[in-house]
A = this chain, B = another copy of it.
């Protein structure tokens, strides 16, 4: 039995929960309290010296880190990763795109809105994060204008990797209404067999996200004022 060390409100961790559900593969989930310092303990750093979730652990103690590398390993040989080498390469390409050009903007904006205190100086980063995040969403929209999925002809792990934070981009202040093909794709992903949604954020995160939305409205003078500079 494999163990996933993960944080439920992290999209990178939810990717694994979604794929494991769709593979019908049992696993232990060990909840990691990211904000409580669980990734900074000697025990955790022995598993991942980079101090990040998720971590996959085998029964014999061997570990694999990096969400998209774990997705690729779990999906190998299944219908969630194409057998054609060129299509496999395209799936990996989208997964590297996700980690370099998408997650660092869209996931980080969500984190700042919901998990950094409302007076955090990090809110000053939001305009730049949103500009770069919208560039990534535009690249996805262009692809989805001509194709149903990111993993060749079928739904697969590139879709899972990109779905995770796109589905909750609104928490970071991203308005997706300008991306019709992307919105259709989100619904197609939600309709796949065995789909599981990420659990809702905690009450405090929802409250701070709501405050961020107010702050982002034109004319608002406190957080929004900082966020726009």
Residues of A at under 8 Å CB distance from B?
Answer: 49-50, 52, 62, 64-70, 72-73, 76, 85-86, 88-90, 92-93, 95-97, 99-101, 103-104, 135-136, 138-139, 142-143
Contacts and interface: CB of A to CB of B under 8 A. Distances in A.
Contact of A92 (B66, B97, B138): B66
Contact of A89 (B49, B72, B95, B101): B72
A68 B99 CA distance: 12
Given A50-B139, A99-B99, A100-B100, A64 B89 contact: yes
A97 B62 contact: no
A101 B69 contact: no
Contacts of A104: 100, 104
Contacts of A86: 62, 64, 73
B73 A96 contact: no
Contacts of A72: 89, 92
A76 B83 CA distance: 13
Given A50-B135, A92-B92, 15 more contacts: A49-B139, A49-B143, A50-B139, A64-B86, A65-B93, A65-B97, A66-B96, A68-B92, A69-B89, A69-B93, A73-B85, A73-B86, A73-B88, A96-B96, A100-B100
Contacts of A135: 50
A66 B93 contact: yes
27 contacts: A49-B138, A49-B142, A49-B143, A50-B97, A50-B101, A62-B86, A64-B89, A64-B93, A65-B93, A66-B92, A66-B96, A67-B96, A68-B92, A68-B96, A69-B89, A69-B95, A70-B93, A73-B85, A73-B88, A76-B85, A92-B92, A95-B96, A99-B100, A100-B100, A100-B103, A100-B104, A104-B104
A120 B158 CA distance: 37
Contacts of A93: 64-66, 69-70
A101 B66 CA distance: 10
A66 B97 CA distance: 7
A12 to B, nearest CB: 10
Contacts of A89: 64, 69-70, 72-73
